[in-house]
Amino acid sequence: MTADLAIVAPAAAPVPPAPSLAVRAQSLGLVFDADGQRTVALDNVTLDIARGSFVSLIGPSGCGKTTLLRAIADLERPTSGTLVVNGTTPERARRDRAYGYVFQAPALYPWRTVERNVMLPLEIMAMKPAERRARAARYLDLVGLGEFRRRFPWQLSGGMQQRVSIARALSFEPSLLLMDEPFGALDEITRDGLNLHLHELWRRTGMTVVFVTHSIPEAVYLSTGIVVMSPRPGKVTEVIAVDLPAARDLDVRETPAFLAVAHRVRTALRAGHSYD
């Protein structure tokens, strides 16, 4: 196991956040209480995510991986334990606009052009118009959609729309990128292309990425570390480091080293899942 990702044993006293950590969760619990129905979405989750790493959360439906991501984003409130994001509380991190969030669907506003969708967070953050346009152009070029900036979202394919939403999340240059199954609704060929793209993007920017996925190959291909989770109650069963070269192309998926990691992830998933 590498040093950039490790399970930290629950400490007796809250440990001051280490500056090298993007996210630190300690004994995190989150219980939904709706109409007398108690659902334990997260149970005693302890996890460190180092700055600059690419960490995937993988597990079957209901294992709390999306809930964990949403808690990091301050879209859900943990009911117990501590959660530190960028050295501060999730709410403070959100107010500091420390993270960009990419949802399962592109969530573009259909009445805005592609360019104006990317400029939306910049408008809200009161950036000057000239700077907004420059940023939008830069990040649309980065995801390869520069020439589509005057189009409307519904004029683009699903994969292109999701790339726009990635450009939108990158436009204000957050240090942390949270992605909730961003490619889940796309076909495999589009998905491969976007994985390649995202991997290069991460290598170039050096940002921290937390990535929720269902797909083992996707997780292994993209990640420096994989967090395997199991459902009812949602908890972390294993953290697997990915010892693959940082520069990867899609062919790495055929190598023995890749298959060995994939096998470990599959075994961990099976151990945590009782098929009930």
Partner 1 sequence: MRHHVLPVVVVLAAVVVLWYAAAVWLNYDTAQNLADDGASRWDIVAATMQQDRPLLPAPHQIAGELIDSTLFRPLASPKSLLYHAGVTAAAAALGFGFALVLGVLLAVGIVHVRTLDRSLMLWIIASQTVPVLAIAPMVVVVLGNIGLTGTLPKALIAGYLSFFPITTGMVTGLRAPDPMQRDLMRTYCANGVQVFTRLRWPASMAFLFPSLKVAATLSLVGAIVAELPTGAQAGLGARLLTGSYYGQTLQIWAALFAAAILALLAVAVIDLAQRALVRRRGGRL
Nearer of residues 93 and 268 to partner 1, judged by Cβ: 93
Distance CA 270, CA 212 (A): 18
For residue 151, the tally of other CB atoms under 10 A from its CB is 15
Helices 129-142 and 114-124 cross at an angle (nearest 10°) of 130
Task: Tell me the window of 23-31, 127-135, 148-156, 251-259 that interacts with partner 1 (CB under 8 A).
Answer: 148-156
Edge-first strand order for the sheet with 225-230 is 99-102, 176-180, 208-213, 54-58, 225-230, 235-241
Q: Which of 3, 13, 37, 154 binds partner 1 (CB under 8 A)?
A: 154
In the bound complex, what is the minimum distance in angstroms from residue 205's beta carbon to partner 1? Answer: 18
By CB under 8 A, residue 90 contacts partner 1:
no
Q: Should residue 124 be labelled a site residue for partner 1 when binding is judged by CB under 8 A?
A: yes
Angle (CA) 269 275 276, round 5°? 140
105 scored as a contact of partner 1 (CB under 8 A): yes
Residues 155-184 that bind partner 1 (CB under 8 A): 155
Question: Which tokens sit at 188?
Answer: 């495999």
Closer CB to partner 1, 150 or 266, in the complex: 150
Q: Which is nearer to partner 1, 90 or 225 (CB)?
A: 90
211 binds partner 1 per the rule CB under 8 A? no
- Quick one: 94 or 138, whose CB is closer to partner 1? 94
Distance CA 86, CA 222 (A): 22
For the bound state, the minimum distance from the C-beta of residue 61 to partner 1, rounded and expressed in Å, comes to 18
Q: Does 34 bind partner 1 (CB under 8 A)?
A: no
Type and span of the H or E element at 34: strand 21-34
Q: Which residues does residue 34 pair with via DSSP β-bridges, in sequence order?
A: 37
Q: Please give the full DSSP string across 51-104, using - where no structure is assigned.
A: TT-EEEEE-STTSSHHHHHHHHTTSS--SEEEEEETTB-HHHHHHTT-EEEE-S
Binding mask 59-88 toward partner 1 (x if CB under 8 A, else -) reads --------------xxx-------------
Binding-site member from 61, 111, 275, 276 for partner 1 (CB under 8 A) = 111
Instruction: State the minimum distance, in angstroms, from the CB of residue 49 to partner 1.
Output: 18
Strand blocks (E) in 176-234: 176-180, 208-213, 225-230
Residue 110 Cβ, how far from partner 1 at the closest point, in Å? 7
Binding site for partner 1 (CB under 8 A): 73-75, 94-95, 97, 99-101, 103-105, 107, 109-113, 120-121, 123-125, 151-152, 154-155
